[in-house]
Amino acid sequence: MAPVVRTLSSPIEARALPAGTIVGDLHGGLTFSDEIAAVLEARSHRGWYEFRSGPGEYWTIIFLDR
């Protein structure tokens, strides 16, 4: 899961990510503030979803396509 952006410090940083970026964490998306999550959701057609990357390891990810 190396290409996944795991930390963002501000909504400005979330807006600056290029389309095609994958953002996520192993904590249900809870490492991102509500403000950052709102920016990410506005930039995604699909929204958040879970991805199993290994036994017992589930990522919550969002694909930025806008």
In a domain, 6, yes or no: no
- Provide the sign of the torsion angle of the four alpha carbons 38, 6, 30, 61, taken in this order: positive
Could you give the number of structural domains in the chain? 1
Is it the case that residue 10 has pLDDT exceeding 80?
yes
* Mean pLDDT value across residues 30-45: 97
* Residue 25 located in a structural domain: yes
Q: Is residue 4 part of a domain?
A: no
Average pLDDT over the chain reads 96
Residue 34: CB atoms within 10 Å? 7
Residue 3 in any domain: the answer is: no
Asked whether residue 22 is assigned to any structural domain, the reply reads yes
Residue range(s) defining the domain that contains residue 53: 11-63
Mean pLDDT score, 48-55:
94
Q: Please indicate, yes or no, if residue 1 is contained in any of the structural domains.
A: no
pLDDT at 1 over 90: no
Res 2: pLDDT: 78
